Amino acid sequence: MFYLRYLPFVATSLLVASAFSHASVAEDLAVLAGQHIIYTYPGISPPDALFDLLDEGKVGGLILFHENINQTNLTETSALMSKFQRAHAKSPAYKGYPLPIMIDQEGGYVKRITNGGPWESAKEMGLARDPSLASSYGGSAAADALIAAGFNVNLAPVLDVYREESSFMNYWQRSFGNTSSLVTRCAVSFLSAMRKKGIAAAGKHFPGNGANPAGNDTDAGVVTLDLTLDEIRAVDEIPYRSAIQAGLGLIMASWSKYIMVDDRPAGLSKKWLEGELRSRLGYNGVIMTDALEAGAVKPYGDWSTIALLAKQAGADMILCASRNLTEGLMATEGLVAGLKNGSLSRTALEESFERIMAFRSTLRAG
């Protein structure tokens, strides 16, 4: 099914029609909208309501954090991931492809599986004698950790090119380096090693958070950058072009605002998602948002409103990471409301679903 990554609108268009043609209109819209929503939950044990949503076909993916993983018994975590996949397989939206179940396993400070690789941070990989080899080892180790715990998507590598030693991404050692060429070499090696073991990668945070000053975290609040489009294209977008050519099928958009281009955060901007990423860089894969509850997007409304704005801008999947089901339900309601009042095109949503299905066709089941 590898060809579906590049030709998603041929074979998968038939899947869309069959996936949503047998339910009532209201239920049909809820299922279609729900397939774009990534849920999470608090603690080790998922609530029964999550399994109900999975059974009904209203979950597009799951993200887990440290608190959701049995760090002393990954076999137990893997068994739970299999249970999620079985529930997904019974849903009306299931067409033979696994549910994306993802974590952040970058290395260094950002590792949800504590006792799994990568053992080095991205910064350390970039400083190695052979950065490409170190990053390849890192990607392979990350894949091993995900496979042991039953995951199929790693929200890594970070493609941000940091500017200053004090930059936010460098402070936390999440960037491979301060040049486009180094970040490109490391990121492509990292994601290629994961792909060889069947783990999908997500490049982040488009078009780039490398210039974010220390203390400027989009999770906490609004981040505004005054980079020119020429600089962003010459520095920050370079790793994306190479990663896309290497088969990257999932990209997370940044919540930073690049005010020389658009006054909205990139993840809510059609100029960035449709214009720059899809049209200029030729990307046909899945675009996901950063966390919907982030402080950077609070000025734009509640979760329902922000989810709708992201879809209108061209995002495919909405990340709901606040460790409760309410956020995902509100995001779904926002998309359904948009479909009903005409502010969100059903055709556009179905095309987005086709891209998601093409991505799912590349995933391992567990």
Q: Each residue of 129-182: pLDDT tens digit?
A: 999 999 999 999 999 999 999 999 999 999 999 999 999 999 999 999 999 999
- Pairing state of beta strands 110-111 and 105-107? antiparallel
Instruction: Give pTM, 2 decimals.
Output: 0.94
| CA dist 10 → 13, 16, 60, 332 (Å) | 6, 11, 21, 27
Cβ atoms of residues 189 and 246 within 8 Å: no
Mean pLDDT of the chain: 94
Which tops the pLDDT comparison, 233 or 15? 233
Out of 105-109, 287-291, 362-366, least confident range = 362-366
The pLDDT value recorded for residue 20 is 54
User: CATH: 3.40.50.280, 3.20.20.300, 1.20.1740.10, 3.40.50.1000. Which one for 95-362?
Assistant: 3.20.20.300
Q: Each residue of 312-325: pLDDT tens digit?
A: 999 999 999 999 99
Q: Each residue of 192-221: pLDDT tens digit?
A: 999 999 999 999 999 999 999 998 999 999
Give the Cα separation of 70 and 78 in Å (integer). Answer: 9
The residues pairing with 111 across neighbouring beta strands, listed in sequence order, are 105
The pLDDT value recorded for residue 3 is 32
Confidence band, pLDDT 50/70/90 cuts, at residue 190: very high
Q: Which long-range contacts (CB under 8 A, 24 or more apart) does 89-92 make?
A: 90/54, 90/55, 91/54, 91/55, 91/56, 91/57, 91/59, 92/19, 92/20, 92/22, 92/23, 92/31, 92/56, 92/57
The pLDDT value recorded for residue 19 is 52
Burial class (CB in 10 A: 0-12, 13-18, 19+), 274: middle
The pLDDT value recorded for residue 7 is 38
Q: Each residue of 294-317: pLDDT tens digit?
A: 999 999 999 999 999 999 999 999
Cβ neighbours, 10 Å, residue 278:
16
Evaluate if residue 1 carries a pLDDT over 70.
Answer: no
The pLDDT value recorded for residue 365 is 86
Calculate mean pLDDT across residues 5-10. Answer: 37
Evaluate if residue 253 carries a pLDDT over 60.
Answer: yes
| Domain assignments of the chain as residue spans, ordered by start | 95-362
- Pairing state of beta strands 101-103 and 61-63? parallel
Out of 24-38, 141-155, 278-292, 326-340, least confident range = 24-38
Confidence band, pLDDT 50/70/90 cuts, at residue 13: very low
Confidence band, pLDDT 50/70/90 cuts, at residue 95: confident
Evaluate if residue 186 carries a pLDDT over 90.
Answer: yes
